[in-house]
Amino acid sequence: MDKQKANKEGESKPELYTLLSTGRVLHLNLKKQWFDMISNGVKKEEYREIKDYWVKRLKDMSLQGPFHAFIPYDKIVFKNGYSKNAPIMVVQFEGIRIGKGNKDWGADNEVRFCIKLGIILYDSTKLAL
């Protein structure tokens, strides 16, 4: 797709470069089922296990105390798989809670990090070719 055509069709969406170069970005990989549900506006949360790996990526370690303080990300970049050319989507970050999630959105009965999703800022699967 040439640059002029891309700008004309995507005028209401910020360019991907601008999105990725501003603010704090959380990068997450997803399986196709969950990627598609978010892309279609169905899934409003993403879940991660409460393990050291995710605690280090999500919890603000500079704040001490009994309360959960999370890194104030601005947006989440979801990638559908690990391929260089995998579809990507940028979604507004709305916060994190700890609790049980929606089973229809992939949660089980375990307590998880529940990452709340806002509006979709960019979705490579929705671009016109």
Quickly list H helices, 1-129: 3-9, 16-21, 32-39, 52-58
**pLDDT given at position 18:** 76
pLDDT beyond 50 at 4: no
Residue 40 backbone phi and psi in degrees, to 5: -85, 5
Q: What's the CATH number of domain 3-126, 3.30.420.40, 2.30.130.30, 3.40.50.620, 2.40.30.170?
A: 2.30.130.30
pLDDT band, residue 14 (cuts 50/70/90): low
**pLDDT, tens digit (0-9, with 9 covering 90-100), for 28-65:** 999 999 999 999 999 999 999 999 999 999 988 776 66
Mean pLDDT of the chain, nearest integer: 85
